[in-house]
Amino acid sequence: MFIRRTLPLLVSAIFGVALIFQFFIPHPASKSFYNMMLDWLIIVSAFTYLIAVQSTVELHITKIKRKVEGWQYSIIVLVSLFVTALLGIFGGAFMPTTLWMKIFHNVKPTDTTPLMYTYLYMQMPMQSTIFSLLAFYMASAAFRSFRARSFDATLLLITAGIVTIGRVPLGEFIYKGLPDVVEWILKYPNMAAQRGILIGVQLGIIATSIKIILGIERKYLGGGK
């Protein structure tokens, strides 16, 4: 219980309070403590990727072993994972490694590395495609649910129409002052509403942080109470 509950709570309380006070103490000793904390954070972050790899490998090996539906795709995932990693390690990230140039004599230091090749010609088109889906989904969502059901909805509809047209050159072609109207909408009505939500959100963020530091909120450690 001490290791699973009390110790983590103690650690988060001590470091939480220490880092709050550190912000108010400019002394070099406080700065070096702060720098040490940042170094720790960076080092811990680097190791979390190992956990990520472990999780991915374990999940897909289990799928293959149990032959769950679509297990063949798991093989593709694992092969891609290891081939990409190997290409990066032996071929180099931005410049071909000496080992790679020794194996393939015609490779020059200025050549595109195999890792960069997979990045440019496989990852780029695949990810761009996913992002472009947004346009299609937006169109269908707008068609399906953007209805003038009430006065508020009508107001929203008109505003959205103005912003949609005013954000492209065509809007300016139709009416020269439209981009300014759009800027005004974004700068004032949009921002007023956003700030209302933001103030609430920020207070929520501060309260949650304080709850964690004080040990009132413990659910992130798992379990209920």
Partner 1 sequence: MKSKILFFIFILLSFFFIFSQNLTQTDQKLFTPVDSTVLKNFIVRDVGNDDGTRIEVFCNFPFDGKNFTLKLYRKESGDSNFKMLKTIKSFPFKIVDEGLFSDKKYEYYISFVDSMGGESEKCIINQPISPKPDLFKTDKTILLLMIIIYTVVIILLVESVRKGKELFVRKISGLDTLDEAVGRATEMGRPVLYVPGSSTMSDIATIASLNILGPVAKKIAEYETKLIVPNRDPIVMTVAKEVVKESYSEAGRPDAYNDNDIFFLTDSQFGYAAAVSGIMTREKPATNLLLGMFWAESLIMAEAGNTTGAIQIAGTDAVTQLPFFITSCDYTIIGEELYAASAYLSREPLLLGTLKAQDYFKGLIIIILTLYFLILIISLITGGNITILKNIMEFLRFIFKS
Partner 2 sequence: MRFINFINKLDKRWIYLVLALCIIIPFLFPIGFPMKTTAPVKSIYDFIEDSIPEGGVVLIGADYDPSTMAELHPMAKVIATHALSNNLRVLFVTLYPQGAGMAQDVIENVLREWNNSNPDNQKELGKDITLLAYVPGVSAVVLKMGEDIIETFNEDGYGNKLSDLEVMKEIKNYNDIDLMVELAGSAVVLTWLIYANGRYGLNVGIGTTAVSAAEYYSYLQSKQAIGMLGGLKGAAEYENLLSKKGVYWGRKDATVGMDAQSSAHIFFIILIVLGNIAYFVSKKQKGGR
CB 100 within 8 A of CB 111: no
Q: Which is nearer to partner 1, 16 or 179 (CB)?
A: 16
CB 113 within 8 A of CB 121: no
| 24 binds, options partner 2, partner 1, none, Cβ within 5 to 8 A by partner type | partner 1
Task: Select the residue interacting with partner 2 from 15, 78, 159, 167 (CB under 8 A).
Answer: 167
Smallest separation, CB 70 to partner 2 (Å): 24
Task: Select the residue interacting with partner 2 from 123, 155, 204, 210 (CB under 8 A).
Answer: 123
CB 78 within 8 A of CB 63: no
194 near partner 2 (CB under 8 A) = yes
Q: With the CA atoms of 67, 73, 79 and 84 taken in that order, what torsion angle do they form, in degrees rounded to the nearest 10? A: -150
Q: Which is nearer to partner 1, 103 or 141 (CB)?
A: 141
Smallest separation, CB 12 to partner 2 (Å): 17
Distance CA 42, CA 49 (A): 12
Distance CA 83, CA 124 (A): 17
CB 215 within 8 A of CB 9: yes
Q: Which residues bind partner 1 (CB under 8 A)?
A: 20, 23-28, 30-31, 48-49, 51-52, 55-56, 58-59, 62, 69-70, 127, 130-131, 133-134, 137-138, 140-142, 144-146, 194, 197-201, 203-212, 214, 216-217, 219-225
